[in-house]
Amino acid sequence: MTDVLATVRLAGAAQGFNWLPVFVADEQGIFARHGLRIEYLRMGSVDKATAAVREGEADVALTPPEGAIQNAVEGGGLRLIAANSVRLPMSLVATPKIAEIAQLRGARIGTSSLTEGTAIYTRWMLERDGLEYPRDYEFVLAGVHTARWDALRSGEIDCAPQPAPWSFLAEREGFHLIGEVNDVIPEIIFAAAVAESGWLDRNAAAAGALVAALAEAHAFVNDPRNDGVSVPIYQRITTPDEPELAERGFRYTRDMGMWPRGARIPRAAFEASLDAMVASGLLSKAAREPADRVLETRFGNNTDGGR
């Protein structure tokens, strides 16, 4: 075991299904072999995870990239050092009274943020079906996926994007899956490792070790020979009392390529994130090129190079 190089304060919203490689890295000793000790910070929302890094309360966050992209365009120091996930194993889950996207006019749609992640994907999807926000529906800040599931069951909201295996659970309980996000957005940065440039300058060795450890963990999770380790951890962090749903959700998620090789950020996924931000009015077309400054490439995070 390598001597401890650094303790990294790692923040996230719910630390759920997409964190599988992180927990594998912890439990399989991958972080330890790279000289890292991880301190987990659960922030409760993606906005708060991004803010924790910006304000120095956390060293790195695994969170949607939009907040970091906006910060970098505005001259801030937030940077993307690796990809956590680049596919969206999500369905639009609607209450039994709603059978198709067209019926979402006037609906209350649950999301975890208005400026990052689920709201952006949902707006992009619904615009393709002629529904515009806020003219045709409203967003409700219902929290992360587990809280959204509670809100769906209670009738607080009419629809929400839900990841596998919760989407499968909802379908089993009579809710309707009215759209697959991956069919509309096949590749996008769902979550990235976000750090602040000053911290990266002071802790380059630790940051490099973290990216290397995540890359090793991604390779482990993506190898079917390791399913005997990966599936039980996935079940524990998703649906601990539903082993069949957990295994189905894991294979669905893994097989679509959610966890990228080398924890790298594919150019196509980054461009899709920018497209979604522009379509949602969160980024101007003129800001697309300056947005590249958010990519911290010294750790080999971008597989495709420049434009």
Amino acid in position 81: I
Mean pLDDT along residues 180-193: 92
Asked if residue 159 and residue 193 are part of one domain, the reply reads no
Asked if residue 63 and residue 197 are part of one domain, the reply reads yes
pLDDT for 303 beyond 60: no
**Tokens in use for 226?**
């390791």
CA atoms within 13 A of residue 288's CA, in its CB half-sphere: 16
Mean pLDDT over all residues of the chain? 93
Q: Examine residue 232 and state whether it is found in any structural domain, yes or no.
A: yes
Provide the pLDDT for residue 4.
Answer: 65
Asked if residue 172 and residue 56 are part of one domain, the reply reads no
Q: Examine residue 305 and state whether it is found in any structural domain, yes or no.
A: no
CA atoms within 13 A of residue 131's CA, in its CB half-sphere: 19
**pLDDT tens digits, one per residue of 216-274:** 999 999 999 999 999 999 999 999 999 999 999 999 999 999 999 999 999 999 999 99
Provide the pLDDT for residue 307.
Answer: 36
Point out the domain boundary residue: 162, 184, 206.
184
Mean pLDDT along residues 24-33: 97
Asked if residue 168 and residue 212 are part of one domain, the reply reads no
Point out the domain boundary residue: 139, 160, 184.
184
Give the angle 267-271-273 at the CA atoms, nearest 5°: 120
Q: Rounded to a whole number, what is the largest CA-CA distance in the chain?
A: 58
Q: Examine residue 279 and state whether it is found in any structural domain, yes or no.
A: yes
- CATH number for 295: 3.40.190.10
Q: What is the pTM of this model?
A: 0.87
Asked if residue 153 and residue 82 are part of one domain, the reply reads no
Point out the domain boundary residue: 140, 169, 184.
184
Q: Which domain range does residue 73 map to?
A: 6-86+188-299
pLDDT for 1 beyond 80: no
Interatomic CA distance for residues 13 and 47, integer angstroms: 8
